[in-house]
């Protein structure tokens, strides 16, 4: 019932970056705790994401290993080449649904389990959401993910959304993914499970984009208290928490947990994923954390806020340098680091 997203969503936590060996060690510890499903990377972001995905797949740490990408042929091919199952997310603005569904059909022929996320489900009217989900499943998706991407859901409404999709699509696997901007991610995840969802995305310490998603150990405690059967060992999972705590303290410091607090924490308005920074009509805030998931839009916004304008070629070169340094050094870069680079 639990999917771990620490190695991918968790890498979008403000101030964090992981070296290859750090990702590998966390994957090993998560596997030993009994986690059987994990979303571990975003291969189109950087060669390091491709390499670590292949390694984790080869070591067979998880029964189901997923890598994430956009509904683009290039992203789908990169994921398929790693040997991982394919997880795709729709764009935040759908300009050409036919093209998106064609890409999903293409992905469905890769011989891997295919999951597709309808991002920001809270913005849809129920009828339009159902129709979109039906189209995705008809195109070949094995599983649907219903993310509260902006963290604005409340349990009753979110549960109703999951219930409506479940009633119309009885046979498809449903996964939920709830952000914690307003402190509701655990409550929304429980509501989604009770409404018929099969799996919940979680991370260790609930880390992730802005101030994260549902905390893994908290959800496991709830499932155990309700008599749900999981193969996850709480005692072994705590070892993962201890391991990640040490990394967070080394890389960011104890202030991470203050800045990551819902509603008032600074991270609520801080972005790491380039795919989020590109859509200012969906995500507000001009605070950025730069690592392997940095995108051109994010860098452009930072520079333009300082009245700095560079060529597209220079922009691409700097983005690649940011990605390389963040992986090799295992650290997130700050605005001052970027400005020195540009200089």
What pLDDT score does 271 carry?
83
| Ordered domains of the chain (ranges, CATH) | 2-251 (3.20.20.70), 261-342 (no CATH)
* Local structure of residue 333 (DSSP, 8 states): B
What pLDDT score does 239 carry?
96
Q: Collect all residues with Cβ–Cβ distance below 8 Å to 70 and sequence separation of at least 6.
A: 44, 88, 89, 91, 275
283: pLDDT strictly greater than 90: no
Instruction: Please provide the DSSP assignment of 123-147 as one string.
Output: GS-HHHHHHHHHHHHHTT-SEEEEE
**pLDDT higher for 289 or 72?**
72
159: pLDDT strictly greater than 50: yes
Mean pLDDT of 159-188: 97
Report d(CA 298, CA 291) in Å as an integer.
11
Is the distance from CB of 10 to CB of 207 less than 8 angstroms?
Answer: yes
209: pLDDT strictly greater than 90: yes
Confidence of residue 44 (pLDDT cuts 50, 70, 90): very high
Q: Collect all residues with Cβ–Cβ distance below 8 Å to 176 and sequence separation of at least 6.
A: 145, 146, 147, 148, 162, 188, 189, 192, 193, 197, 199, 200, 201
* Local structure of residue 198 (DSSP, 8 states): S
Q: What percent of the chain has pLDDT over 70?
A: 96
How is residue 134 written in tokens?
């039906």
Query: Which of these ranges, 33-37, 150-154, 155-159, 296-300, has the smallest mean pLDDT?
Result: 296-300
Q: What's the predicted TM-score (pTM) here?
A: 0.93
What pLDDT score does 282 carry?
45
Is the distance from CB of 260 to CB of 289 less than 8 angstroms?
Answer: no
Q: What percent of the chain has pLDDT over 90?
A: 87
Confidence of residue 335 (pLDDT cuts 50, 70, 90): confident
What pLDDT score does 272 carry?
85
| Average pLDDT score over the chain | 94
Q: Collect all residues with Cβ–Cβ distance below 8 Å to 291 and sequence separation of at least 6.
A: 11, 16, 17, 272, 322, 323, 326, 327, 332, 333
What pLDDT score does 81 carry?
98
Angstrom CA distances, 253 to 128, 138, 154, 246, stand at 44, 47, 31, 9
What pLDDT score does 10 carry?
96
What pLDDT score does 274 carry?
59
Is the distance from CB of 200 to CB of 1 less than 8 angstroms?
Answer: yes
66: pLDDT strictly greater than 80: yes
């Amino acid at each position: 019932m639990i999917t771990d997203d620490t190695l991918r969503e968790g890498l979008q936590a403000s101030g964090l970056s992981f070296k290859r060996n750090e990702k590998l060690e966390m994957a090993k510890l998560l596997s030993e705790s009994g986690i059987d499903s994990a979303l571990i990377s975003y291969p189109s972001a950087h060669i390091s994401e491709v390499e670590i995905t292949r390694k984790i797949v080869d070591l067979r740490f998880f029964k189901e290993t997923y890598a994430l990408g956009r509904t683009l042929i290039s992203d789908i091919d990169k994921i398929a080449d790693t040997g991982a199952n394919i997880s795709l997310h729709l764009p935040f603005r759908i300009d050409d649904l036919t093209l998106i569904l064609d890409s999903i059909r293409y992905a469905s022929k890769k011989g891997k389990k295919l999951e597709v996320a309808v991002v920001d489900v809270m913005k849809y009217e129920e009828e339009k959401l159902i129709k979109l989900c039906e189209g995705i499943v008809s195109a070949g998706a094995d599983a649907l993910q219903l993310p509260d991407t902006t963290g604005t859901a409340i349990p009753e409404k979110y549960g109703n959304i999951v219930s409506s999709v479940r009633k119309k699509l009885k046979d498809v696997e449903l996964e939920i993914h709830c952000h914690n901007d307003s402190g509701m991610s655990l409550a929304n995840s429980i509501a989604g499970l009770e409404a018929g969802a099969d799996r919940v995305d979680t991370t260790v310490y609930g880390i992730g984009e802005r101030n994260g998603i549902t905390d893994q150990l908290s959800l496991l405690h709830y499932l155990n208290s309700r008599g749900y059967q999981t193969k996850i060992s709480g005692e072994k999972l705590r070892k993962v928490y201890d391991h990640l705590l040490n990394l967070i303290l080394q890389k960011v410091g104890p202030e991470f947990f203050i800045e990551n607090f819902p509603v008032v924490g600074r991270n609520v308005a801080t972005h790491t994923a380039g795919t989020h920074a590109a859509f200012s009509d969906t995500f507000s805030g001009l605070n950025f954390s730069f690592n392997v998931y940095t995108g051109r839009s994010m860098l452009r916004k930072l520079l333009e806020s300082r009245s700095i304008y560079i060529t597209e070629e220079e922009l691409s070169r700097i983005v690649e340098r940011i990605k390389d340094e963040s992986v090799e050094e295992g650290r997130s870069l700050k605005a001052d680091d970027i400005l020195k680079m540009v200089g």
